[in-house]
Amino acid sequence: MQRRILGILFAVLFIVMMGFSILFPVEPYYARTFGGTAATMGWLMACYSLAQFIFSPIWGRLSDRVGRKPIMLVGLAGYALSMTLMGFATSLPGLFVARTLAGILSSATLPTAMAVIADSTTESERAKGMGILGAAFGLGVIFGPFIGGTLGAVQITLPFFISAGLAAFTFLLVLAILPESHKVRDRASADAAPHRAGSRWSAFNRETVGLYLMAFVVTFSLAGLETSFPFLASDRLGLNERSVGYVYAVMGFVAAVVQGGLVGVLKKAIGEERMIPAGLFVSALGMAGIAIAPSPVMATVAISLFGAGHGLIRPANASLISQRAKVGHGLAIGLLDSMDSLGRILGPVVGGALYAMRGSLPFVSGSVMNVLALVAFLLLIPTVMRPARTARTPGVSD
């Protein structure tokens, strides 16, 4: 694929994720200024993920019809608007409205960016492209909280406005430089496909349903870890908030290295179909290690191991879905993002409830879930392991 396109998308997703994660250190404190509690914060995050779950496939499908670039611009402009509204919020209802709007509109960005990769790569190089986008995500999450904590110490609303400014800058970058990857002939093919009310479900076939479920399981495990680990770190390991941030930064760095540097090599060596079970095995080991870690160093090693496994699964899964779904790339990837959002809705709720029962339980259950997913992938979903058929996806330009 063209290096220029990949470079622009890397910058887009890095800036968007950095702008998004800037809010992590300050959003709970901001909610408290309006009388919000920890439960309020949970619902605030849930409304964002729920909006993404509903709207990601809608935006993805729309990008199959009108093109990737217009939808990506809508997502970036909407995110800039919603962050500005959050900065000017004067009540909890206003905060919820702004956060929900962010979920609705920003969900137009990720599936279209990944669809551009699918449009612009051959099947042999697609996993590498998805991995590089994953690296942009990881790096954005590393730098965002550090910048957000620093800016929030100056003025608590400043990170919101900086995030809006980053989104606006990215909007101009995409508008000026990014070419449209969805060709006219592809739009004609997409328009020719049936658009009845249930047509989105045609993305779920014998070759993809397991992959979509895999996306849910992986994100469910990650979201549960993100919710439970700070409590474990404080209760058992004696770490403070800053130290937990450093641990997350190490995990994000490891995941970024795996996705940006190793995915392409492993794709050639073992193929995407084997990268997923390898990632599940490594993730299961990492989760088990967190459950029994006796020290901060061992916990950091274990959570980094989980990050490495997660870094293998996501790009391989996205690449396989783009190859095997019998719909346009936008809808296929939009549904993938929707399954991720569903995992982020349910994962924190289950993880928090399990931690309240026993501190190690979220990580033990997460390890078991990854092992079961590994067994299911290898034994119960054999169609996924077959070579993908070519020339069967409408609206695809390789």
Domain-located, residue 90:
yes
Taking all residues of the chain, what is their mean pLDDT, rounded to a whole number? 78
394 belongs to a structural domain: no
What is the pLDDT averaged over residues 143-156? 79
Q: Where are the alpha helices (DSSP H) in 239-328?
A: 241-257, 263-270, 272-292, 296-324
Torsion of CA 271, 316, 228, 156, to 10 degrees: 140
Q: What is the mean pLDDT of residues 110-114?
A: 79
Is the four-CA dihedral 267, 268, 273, 279 of positive or negative sign? negative
How many whole angstroms separate alpha carbon 226 and alpha carbon 289? 15
Per-residue pLDDT band for 284 (boundaries 50, 70, 90) equals very high
Which of these, 9, 289, 295, 277, lies nearest to 129 by C-alpha position? 9
Domain count, the chain: 1
Instruction: Write out pLDDT tens, residues 349-373.
Output: 788 788 888 888 989 999 999 999 8
pLDDT tier at 211, thresholds 50, 70, 90: confident
Residues 34 and 189: beta-carbon distance below 8 Å:
no
Identify which has the larger pLDDT, 55 or 396.
Answer: 55
Range 11-32 average pLDDT: 75
Contact 304, 254 (CB under 8 A): yes
14-33 as b/e: b if 16+ CB within 10 A: bbbbbbbbbbbbbbbebbee
Instruction: List, in sequence order, every beta strand (DSSP E) within the chain.
Output: none
Classified as helix, coil or strand, 194 is coil
pLDDT in tens, 221-237: 888 887 788 778 888 88
**Of the ranges 44-48, 250-254, 303-307, the best mean pLDDT one:** 303-307
Residue 192 resides in a domain: no
Whether residue 140 is predicted with pLDDT greater than 70 in this model: the reply is yes
Instruction: Compute the average pLDDT of residues 204-231.
Output: 80
% the chain with pLDDT above 70 = 81
User: Is residue 306 over pLDDT 90?
Assistant: yes
Tell me whether residue 98 is in a domain.
yes
Residue 83 lies in a domain: yes
In a domain, 361, yes or no: yes
CATH code for the domain in which residue 38 is found: 1.20.1250.20
pLDDT confidence of residue 226: 77
Structure tokens at 163: 């995030």
Q: What is the pLDDT of residue 215?
A: 86
Quote the domain boundaries for residue 234: 3-177+203-384
Residue 196 lies inside a defined structural domain of this protein: no
Query: Rounded CA gap, 265 and 259, in Å?
Result: 10
pLDDT at 218 over 60: yes
User: Of 23-27, 93-97, 124-128, which has the strongest mean pLDDT?
Assistant: 93-97
Q: Which residue has the tokens 């929900």?
A: 100
Reported as a pLDDT band with limits 50, 70 and 90, residue 203 is low
Q: Which residue has the higher pLDDT, 340 or 294?
A: 294
> How far apart, in whole angstroms, are the C-alpha atoms of residue 187 and residue 116?
14
Q: Is the pLDDT at 397 greater than 70, yes or no?
A: no
Determine, yes or no, domain membership for 189: no
pLDDT band of residue 267 (cuts 50, 70, 90) is confident
Across 115-126, average pLDDT: 72
Percentage of residues of the chain with pLDDT beyond 90: 18
